[in-house]
Each structure stands twice: as C-alpha cells, then as structure tokens.
Amino acid sequence: MLDDKPAAAVPNDLSAYWMPFTANRAFKASPRLFVSARDMHYVTPDGRQVLDATAGLWCVNAGHARPKIVAAIQEQAATLDYAPSFQLSHPLPFELALRLRDILPAKLEHVFFSNSGSEAVDTALKIALACQRARGEGQRTRLIGRERGYHGVGFGGTSVGGLVNNRRQFGTLLTGVDHLRHTYDPPARFTKGQPEQGAELADDLERLVALHGAETIAAVIVEPVAGSAGVLVPPKGYLERLRAICDRHGILLIFDEVITGFGRLGRATASEFFGIEPDIMVLAKGVTNGSVPMGATAVTAAVHDAVVEGAAAGIELFHGYTYSGHPLACAAALATLETYAEEGLFQRSAQLSGHWEAAVHSLAGEPNVIDVRNIGLMGAVELAPRADGAGLRGPAVFQHCFDNGLLVRASGDTIAMSPPLIVSENQIDEAIEGLRAALRACA
C-alpha cells in the first residue's frame, strides 16, 4: 500500500500545456492525472490506486519511487546539480560508462550520453555516418530503417522510423533513407515467443543493397523487438541473418534497445538474449528507471577508434548536448543499476516470463481478440477494429482499464503491456483479469 499523502492540487486550467502524443482536446475535456506512485501503483487525485502494467512508458523497470534511486537523486542535487559537459566534466559519467560496459555485450566499449532515446538515436546515426567517413567511405550516407519501427522523434529517428502517423505531418524528412519490411506476419497469430517462419525477411536488406549499392549504405537500425508498434517479435534467425548481411557489405548494424534494455527480456539487453551483437546500441528509459531523463549510445571499439583515434588533434566529433552526462541522471542511473543487481531483477524477469506468457495468451478467445504475442515481460493483444472505424476499440479498452484501476497502453487497436520487473504473479493475474473484463465490457 502507498503511504497516505495529501493529494497534489489539480490545476484548474489545463490549456497552456501542449501535451505530447495526446489528443489534447479530448484529454483536457476529461483529464487522467496521477499525483503519486510507489512500487507497482500510481495514485490519482481522488485517491484511486492504478496498477501499472506498462512500467510507466516502458521505462520504470524497477518500480516507482525506489528508495536507493530517490536518495541518490536527492543527494546529488544537493552536492553537484550541474557541471558543463563541453571540455569539462565530473566523475559520474566516467563511472557510469564503465558500469554500463560491464553489462553490455563485450564489443561495446564506449558510451556517449544524451537526454532521451530520441537523442540517443540521432547520436547513433551521426556516429555511423562519421565512422564511415573516417574509414574513407564518405559516400556511405544512406540510412536504412524498418517499417513499423519507432526510433524517437528527432528528424533522424523520425526519418528511419516506419510509423506513418509519426511522419506524415513533417514533409520529406531526411533524404537518403529507405526501409526494410516489418516482420509481422498476420497468419502466424497467437505465437508464443519468436515465430518459426520469417527469417528470410532480413533479405530485404540485400534487395536494398542491389537497388542502392552497398557502397552507399552507412547503417541499418532496427529494434530487436519492435515495441511501440505493438510488440512485434523477430522471427527465429532474422536478426542473425541481418547481422550476416551487414557484415558482408560493410554496413553498421544499430540496435535500438530503448525499450528492450535493462531486463525486459530477462537479460541486460535483447542483444544478449538473442545472442547477436550490434556495432552500435541505443539505450534510454530503463537506464535511470525513468526517474531522470537520460539516453546512451554504446559503440564498439572499432567504431569509436575510427572516429576518435583517426581524427586530427582537437574535437573529434562535433556533436553533444548541454546535459550529456548530467549529474542527476548519472546518479539515478548508477543507483538504478545497483537496484537491478541487488534485487536480481533481470533474473526475476526471466523467471516470471513463463507465467506472463501463459497469462497473456489466456486472453485468446476473448471478444474481438485477433492476435496475442509475447516475449520476455512484453505482451500485446491485437483487437479487431470497430465497425465505425479503426483505432477506436483500443482507446475504449484503455479507458475502461484506467477507470477500473489498471494502466495499459493503447496504440490504435493494439493493447500493449510491459509491467515493472518487480511485478508478482498475483499482480500479473490481476492485470490480465482487468484487461479481460475491459475486453468484455467493450465488446
């Protein structure tokens, strides 16, 4: 149970704040607000507890308001609130980079810090271009993303991303970008874990090599598991084949692990889970447990050394952020990593995955459910569109869940769930039964 605390005052005018990825007019007519959180629950202004089945926004992997993380942020704010990040620094980002190197795939030896997954993606794309130029292959400027991929909202990440609604308002975006087909195969519905078929979809990269020429392609970026598109799990052999094609043609492979990093698949990274090492890895969200914004871009020694060791004296990469390696973010991240380790949360995630899989797939056969898919502590339920339009049933189910004390995520007619790694089996069952009730109520 949460401690009794006075509810925060609710603003009587919501007009000034332009909310992100939100139907602003509808929200402000009927707002959904949280005023506190602890462990597995949020609390609304009227005192209702809401079970968090989404880890906030895929980020609160260790649960809310964890004492070690809270204390680290408070102490750091009172000690060193900010230090310049250009030509100056402080000890914590160096310590954090070493700690991350210890848990990341062996070849990822250097870390560049930013403030979000979006910034970490744009950092990865720029590093890939800079690396190819430093190697004497400056003609490699093309970037390859994937349909239904989500890589944040910077111009680079939006360009390589493959969600049409995220792209359609913003013109041509970056030039020299192409996309692989997504890996979702509707006939292979109700799959538990990785689909058996579909590895050949990685051969789309060979098609783009034939179309554009391998010598023009700098990098390919994919989510090992596409999260925001609705938990699209890679077919068996797909990532292995993609890695082999990149190696064959001198293309850098970037894994966007903003969602899959830090225990979501029962390992530190999806790269470790699948046994495939990228050249560059993008991290955010779970690195600080969502408590302070932070992103990280990890690269192999080969990529780092091409850019840094091969440059003339002076600044090697003209890129960075005012808040790169921010003291509060670093303190939060270090405490988060300690919390994961001390409580064995990655191992706990792996142990819970079987119960989670069975629970999520128990929703097959419920009204309008046309697919269920899962991997690790990630799951998605695909719903048939309503007769009056696509993308309406999902939000109705989301609202019913919220009104009845459960937080899920609706992306169109897909309901996604990704609970904090501290979730109990009873809380998994509670979340699934809450969603089941909503599916029936919205039938």
DSSP string computed for 169-226: TSTT-SSSEEEEPP---TTS-S-BSS-SS-GGGGGHHHHHHHHH-GGGEEEEEE-SSB
What does pLDDT average to in each consecutive run of 10 residues of the chain (443 residues)?
Answer: 58 93 96 97 97 98 98 98 98 98 97 98 98 97 98 98 96 96 92 96 98 98 96 97 98 98 98 98 98 98 97 96 98 98 98 98 98 98 95 97 98 97 98 98 96
- Cα–Cα distance measured from residue 406 to residue 364, given in angstroms and rounded to the nearest whole number: 20
- pLDDT at site 102: 97
- pLDDT at site 1: 46
Q: Is 414 helix (H, G, I), strand (E, B) or coil?
A: strand
Q: Is 159 helix (H, G, I), strand (E, B) or coil?
A: helix
Domain ranges within the chain, ordered by starting residue:
24-61+344-441, 70-342
- pLDDT at site 5: 55
The fold of the 24-61+344-441 domain, in CATH, is Aspartate Aminotransferase, domain 1 (3.90.1150)
For the domain covering 70-342, report its CATH number. 3.40.640.10
**C-alpha angle with apex 377: 371 to 382, nearest 5 degrees?**
15
- pLDDT at site 4: 52
Q: How many CB atoms lie within 10 A of CB 320?
A: 16
Q: Is 40 helix (H, G, I), strand (E, B) or coil?
A: coil
- pLDDT at site 186: 84
